[in-house]
Amino acid sequence: MMTTLPLSRSNPAAAAGPSHQLYMLLREAPDRAAATAYLQRRLAEAGALPPAWSGGMQGLEEWLELRGRNRAEEFRQYQQGRQEGAPRRHFATLAQARRFLCVQAPGLLVEGAWLHSVLDHWRQAAYMPLVKLYLDYLGKGVPTANHVAQVRQVLAVQACSTWQDLEDSGFVQGAIRLALASAGEHYLPELLGYQLAVPDQPAAQPSLLLELAELGIALPPPPPSDTPILNVLRAMLGAEPDTAPRFLQQVEVGYALGRIGLQTLPATPEDGAPQDAPVANGSAHAAIFATPAGGTDGAATASPAPEQPRPILRHRFDGDEHAWETITSDLGLLEAQIAACGGKAEAMTMLARHMGPAVHHQPLGLMAARVYAQLFALA
C-alpha cells in the first residue's frame, strides 16, 4: 500500500531538487527548453514501465471500458458498505484529510495545465474536444468554476501552507503538468496518454473525494475525458493510419507518465480508529460527486450549479476600491488588446496567452477565458 509522502521542514535540500525547482520556475512563466529537458528524462522513466494495454486502438478501447466498469463497481461496493455502517475508508480525521490535501497541493494547483498548448489548434476539428476539456478546467472564465481558483480557496480555508515543504518527489506530477503546458505541442500523443491517466490519480477517486467532502473539503473532480480522448485518437489516426502503431506507443508512454510519483494514497485507517464526525451539511457537499455508471466515462460527474450568465467581460469581485481599480485596468487592457487584433484568429491567439497555468485563475485570465470560450463556441 502506498502512503502519503512525508513533509520535510528540516531538510531544505529536499525542497530544492529538480522537480521542485522546475515547478516553481514554470509556475511563474513557461520555459520550453527547461520543460523539454525535464520531460525527456521523465518519459524515459515512463517508457520503462510495463504497458497498461495491448492490441492497438481496439485494445485501448477495451481497456478503457473495463477500467470504467471496474471503477463503477468499486465505488458501488464502497457506497454499499458506507450505507451499511462502515466507517470512512481513507480519512479517520480532518487532520489526515488536511495532510493529504497538502501532499496533493502541487498537482492540484496546476489542474488542467497540460492541456494549455492545444488552444492554438482551436480551428482543427480533431483538437476541439481537448480545447473544450481545458475550458472546463478553467470554468470557462467563471471564477467559482475555475478548478485552480477553487483549490486555492480550499487550501486557504484549510490552512494548508506546508505543501511547499514537501520533498522533491512530491513535486513530480506538478512539474510534469507544467512541463507539458510549456512544451506540449511537441508531445501531443504523450499529452493524450497523460489525460487518460488523470482519472487514476488519487485526487480523482470518487470515494476519496466524497470523504473529503464529508469533512468539509470539497475538491472539484476532473471533467470526464475518456470519450473525448478516444474521439481525438480516432480522428487523428483515421487521417494517418500508417502512423497508428508509433502514435499509440507514445500514448501509452504518456499514460505511464501520469503514473510516476503517485506515492500519495492515504493509508487506510485502522479498524476501530476514532473518526471525526462529518461536518454540518457534509452530505450535501458530497452530493457534488456523482457515482460513476460504467462505460468509458460513466455518468457525467455533477458539478456545482453554474453562475447565471453575465456579460462577456464582466465578473463579480470584491468590493474593495483598490481591487476594482486593478480589475478595471485589466479589463481596459484586455478590451484594447482585442480591439487591436486583426481578426478572430489573432484574438484567439492573444487570449490564449492570458490563459496559461500561471494566470488563468486571476482576474485578467478569467476575463480572457470568458471571451475565448464564447468565441470558441461560435467557431
Q: Is residue 264 one of the residues assigned to a domain?
A: yes
Residue 303 pLDDT: 40
Q: What is the pLDDT of residues 312-340, one digit of tens each?
A: 444 444 545 555 455 567 778 888 888 89
Residue 290 pLDDT: 39
Q: What is the pLDDT of residues 14-49, one digit of tens each?
A: 446 999 999 999 999 999 999 999 999 999 999 999
- 341/344 Cα distance (integer angstroms): 8
162 lies in the same domain as 150: yes
Q: Which ranges of the chain does DSSP label H, i.e. alpha helix?
A: 18-28, 32-47, 56-83, 94-108, 128-137, 147-157, 172-183, 188-197, 206-214, 226-239, 244-257, 282-286, 321-340, 344-353, 363-377
174 lies in the same domain as 135: yes
Q: What mean pLDDT is predicted for residues 263-284?
A: 73
- 233/247 Cα distance (integer angstroms): 9
362 lies in the same domain as 270: no
77 lies in the same domain as 218: yes
288 lies in the same domain as 320: no
29 lies in the same domain as 151: yes
Nearest to 233 by CA among 95, 57, 107, 25: 57
- 180/171 Cα distance (integer angstroms): 14
Average pLDDT, whole number, for the chain? Answer: 85
Q: What mean pLDDT is predicted for residues 289-307?
A: 41
Residue 302, beta-bridge partner list: none
Q: What is the pLDDT of residues 99-148, one digit of tens each?
A: 999 999 999 999 999 999 999 999 999 999 999 999 999 999 999 999 99
Q: What is the DSSP string of 174-233?
A: HHHHHHHHHHGGG-HHHHHHHHHHGGGSGGG-HHHHHHHHHTT--PPPPPP-HHHHHHHH
Q: What mean pLDDT is predicted for residues 211-224?
A: 95
Residue 263's pLDDT band, with cuts at 50, 70 and 90, is low
Residue 67 has a CB neighbour count (10 Å cut-off) of: 17
Show which of 255, 285, 307 is a domain's final residue.
Answer: 307
Residue 368 pLDDT: 95
Residue 280 pLDDT: 78
Show which of 307, 336, 355 is a domain's final residue.
Answer: 307
201 lies in the same domain as 52: yes
Show which of 307, 337, 355 is a domain's final residue.
Answer: 307
Query: How is residue 303 written as a grid cell?
Result: 458539478
- 216/157 Cα distance (integer angstroms): 10
Q: What is the pTM of this model?
A: 0.86
Q: How many CA atoms lie within 13 A of 47 on its CB side?
A: 10
303 lies in the same domain as 314: no
Q: What mean pLDDT is predicted for residues 359-374?
A: 94
Nearest to 178 by CA among 163, 194, 199: 194
Q: What is the DSSP string of 343-378?
A: SHHHHHHHHHHTTSTTTTTSHHHHHHHHHHHHHHHT
282 lies in the same domain as 334: no
Residue 288's pLDDT band, with cuts at 50, 70 and 90, is very low
For CA atoms 255, 258, 261, 265, give the dihedral sign: negative
Q: What mean pLDDT is predicted for residues 82-108?
A: 94
Q: What mean pLDDT is predicted for residues 5-9?
A: 46
Residue 259's pLDDT band, with cuts at 50, 70 and 90, is very high
Q: Is residue 2 one of the residues assigned to a domain?
A: no
Sort 271 into a burial class: Cβ within 10 Å, 0-12 / 13-18 / 19+.
exposed
Cα 74 to Cα 65, 201, 210, 235, distances in angstroms: 14, 15, 14, 32
Q: What is the pLDDT of residues 226-247, one digit of tens each?
A: 999 999 999 999 867 677 899 9
195 lies in the same domain as 339: no
Residue 327 pLDDT: 58
Q: Is residue 1 one of the residues assigned to a domain?
A: no
Asked whether 185 and 117 are in contact (CB, 8 A), the reply is: yes
More confident residue, 252 or 4: 252
Q: Is residue 7 one of the residues assigned to a domain?
A: no
Asked whether 262 and 2 are in contact (CB, 8 A), the reply is: yes
**Percent of the chain residues topping a pLDDT of 70:** 81
Residue 326 pLDDT: 59
Residue 303 has a CB neighbour count (10 Å cut-off) of: 15
- 353/348 Cα distance (integer angstroms): 9
**Percent of the chain residues topping a pLDDT of 90:** 72
Residue 331 pLDDT: 78
Residues in the chain, total: 379
Contacts of 301 (CB under 8 A, 6+ apart): 221, 223, 224, 289, 290, 292
Asked whether 267 and 43 are in contact (CB, 8 A), the reply is: no
Nearest to 47 by CA among 233, 245, 217, 260: 260
Structural domains of the chain, count? 2
φ/ψ region of 10 (left if φ > 0, alpha if ψ in -120 to 50, else beta) reads alpha
216 lies in the same domain as 334: no
Q: For residue 317, give its domain range.
A: 310-379
Residue 269 pLDDT: 77
228 lies in the same domain as 281: yes
Residue 264 pLDDT: 57
